[in-house]
Amino acid sequence: DCRAAGADGMTDFRTVIKEAERLLPGQVLAIRIGFEPTFLCRVLAGKGFDHWPEPAEDGEWKIFFLRRHGGRARS
């Protein structure tokens, strides 16, 4: 859940990147956020992720990030 941003505005962004990098190929990370995070989607696409957004009933977004095959998980 990325709706509560950190004081510096980047805390949740870094957390999502860190969690995404732990995924193995074929695994999915799902986040819920109050806007469509186009910058985050571009960054993760450059790291080997596909993504798809789904609008939630309450006007927020559910974004799913799939690590494509060939990516490597970080520990």
pLDDT at residue 37, rounded to an integer: 84
**Coil, strand or helix: which one is 51?**
strand
Residue 4 confidence (pLDDT) above 90: no
Judged against a pLDDT cut of 70, whether residue 11 lies above it is answered with no
SS3 45: helix
The pTM for the full model equals: 0.77
CA–CA separation, 50 vs 36, rounded Å?
15
Domains and CATH numbers, the chain: 11-67 (3.30.110.40)
Q: Which residue has the higher pLDDT, 57 or 65?
A: 65
Tell whether the model's pLDDT for residue 52 goes beyond 90.
Answer: yes
